[in-house]
Structure 1
Amino acid sequence: MLQKFFKILLLILLLQLPTRSNAQSLAAGDTSAEDMVISYNIEIKTGLNRTSIAETYNGGNKTVFISKNKTRIRLLSLMRIESLFFLPGADSTIHIYQEKESAAKANPRKVSLSNWQKLNLKYDSAYYKPVAGESKKILGYNCKKAIIYLKDGRTITVYYTEAIKPLRAICEPAFASLPGLALEYTYNYKSGSSTYTATSIKREMINPDIFLLKGKQPSHLRL
């Protein structure tokens, strides 16, 4: 059950991959050469009358590390640490790895494109509509409100800033249509909601080790 719920959290982070290609060009939707670290607080709410496993993720953290053509998205909770790596290959394509850490070891694995495609079907044809007259400041940035509509009828409420370029669509498929970076968003699902709110944005050099997988690095990566 825990593994099933954590997959729900990851769905917000997953990519949308076109069926006609095995990888995405690094040039497409590239953000900026400047290193950046964005941290989000995670708040989980459920509609259940009893305490659930989902609620153990309250107060967790999502951190996005961006350095040129490399991105790492890390989820930290009381239960585990899990990361998604989007790393450049020698042929200028992106390779995706998932790494689950425990007290004993980390277990990186390459994710097949077919599995990613299945997980991201809900983001096909996702689109957003701005909410006129509604905005707020987050970390000093003016953020506009919008609603993202998914084809299964569910929605994501988002506040985004146009002052910062969005992540590449391969990293944040749900927000691919937004003209800026999402600094707060609430993903609504049947039994509750997950809200991510940015708590810090740092523009600083990132230690290259952040993008290294545990153990021997695959030879096809260009790090």
Structure 2
Amino acid sequence: MFIIISTLLINVKAIAQQRVVAECTIVYAIAVDSSAADKNLADNLKSASKIIYIKGNNSRIDLISSAFSQSIFYDKTKGSATILREIGTNKFITKLDSAQWLKEKEEFIDMVTTITKDTKKILGYDCKKAQLELKNGKVYTLYFTPNLLSSVREVDYEFKDIPGLVLEYEVVAVDGKKVRYSATKFNLNPVPASRFDVPSSGYRILNK
């Protein structure tokens, strides 16, 4: 009985220490391993950044580089997403319902997740190391803080089952190309609702 009670107390303490973040902004720097990447990929992602916005059940991911920009708006309540892409002067919009969104993420079905004992401090947070192995051979190595959890865990769909907030990760494709995302800023200030306004005009519709 003592062992059972002690285990319950430990679990309750762990849960109490984890904070669900319902509003934040995270900025990631993007780096490409030039020894494994082709020149076009390296050039396109030079000085690129990724920004995640969370507000309640809504999330937005901006990928910004000198060659293109992309914004993904995800509504957790509906399970739907809108994707905006800008390449030069060309602007495109794609709207996905929940079934289409899940279809878009098929590569992450049945992936194998392994959490190791390795740790690392990022932006002052103690992070644990984990690895994701996809069926297509792609591998993610990541660090997450178990002290924080996003209110929209599907903001990065591949990390939805990770028990914490991912602050750094590296993606290695089958051909050896590597791209690393490292959080450089984590801001808990309120996010303006206007960040989640999707343009109603000026974009060419691309259907899936």
In the alignment, which residue of structure 2 is the partner of 1:156?
A: 140
Q: TM-score with structure 1 length normalisation? A: 0.72
Q: Which residue type is aligned with residue 70 of structure 2?
A: E
In the alignment, which residue of structure 2 is the partner of 1:23?
A: none
In the alignment, which residue of structure 1 is the partner of 2:28?
A: 40
In the alignment, which residue of structure 2 is the partner of 1:145?
A: 129
Q: What's the % identity of the aligned pairs?
A: 24
Are 2:63 and 1:79 aligned?
Answer: no
Are 2:104 and 1:119 aligned?
Answer: yes
Tell me the distance in 1 between the aligned counterparts of 2:37 and 2:108.
Answer: 30
How much has 1:144 moved relative to structure 2? Answer: 0.9
Structure 1: tracts of 5 or more residues without a match: 1-30, 217-223
More helix by share: 2
Q: Which residue type is aligned with residue 28 of structure 2?
A: Y
Aligned residues: CA RMSD: 2.5
Partner SS for 2:194? helix
How much has 1:105 moved relative to structure 2? Answer: 7.2
What is the CA deviation profile of residues 112-136 of structure 1, one whole-angstrom value per residue up to 9, with x for unaligned ones? 555544432220012321222x211
Tell me the distance in 2 between the aligned counterparts of 1:49 and 1:101.
Answer: 23
Matching residue within 15, 40, 45 for 1:52: 40
Q: 1:66 to 1:32 in 2, by over 3 A?
A: same
Q: Which residue type is aligned with residue 95 of structure 1?
A: S
How much has 1:168 moved relative to structure 2? Answer: 3.2
In the alignment, which residue of structure 2 is the partner of 1:66?
A: 54
Partner SS for 2:149? coil
| Larger radius of gyration between Structure 1 and Structure 2 | 2
Are 2:120 and 1:136 aligned?
Answer: yes
Partner SS for 1:52? helix
Residues 1-223 of structure 1 mapped to structure 2, 5 A cutoff? 32=20, 34-47=22-35, 51-87=39-75, 92-101=77-86, 106-113=91-98, 115-132=100-117, 134-166=118-150, 168-189=152-173, 190-215=175-200
Q: 1:81 to 1:36 in 2, by over 3 A?
A: same
Tell me the distance in 2 between the aligned counterparts of 1:93 and 1:81.
Answer: 25
How much has 1:57 moved relative to structure 2? Answer: 0.4
Q: Which residue type is aligned with residue 59 of structure 1?
A: S
Q: 1:79 to 1:168 in 2, by over 3 A?
A: same
What is the CA deviation profile of residues 5-51 of structure 1, one whole-angstrom value per residue up to 9, with x for unaligned ones? xxxxxxxxxxxxxxxxxxxxxxxxxx946320011011122556863
- Would you say the 8 A contact 1:35–1:204 is kept in 2? yes
How much has 1:81 moved relative to structure 2? Answer: 1.7
Aligned length: 182
Q: Which residue type is aligned with residue 54 of structure 2?
A: I
Q: 1:146 to 1:96 in 2, by over 3 A?
A: same
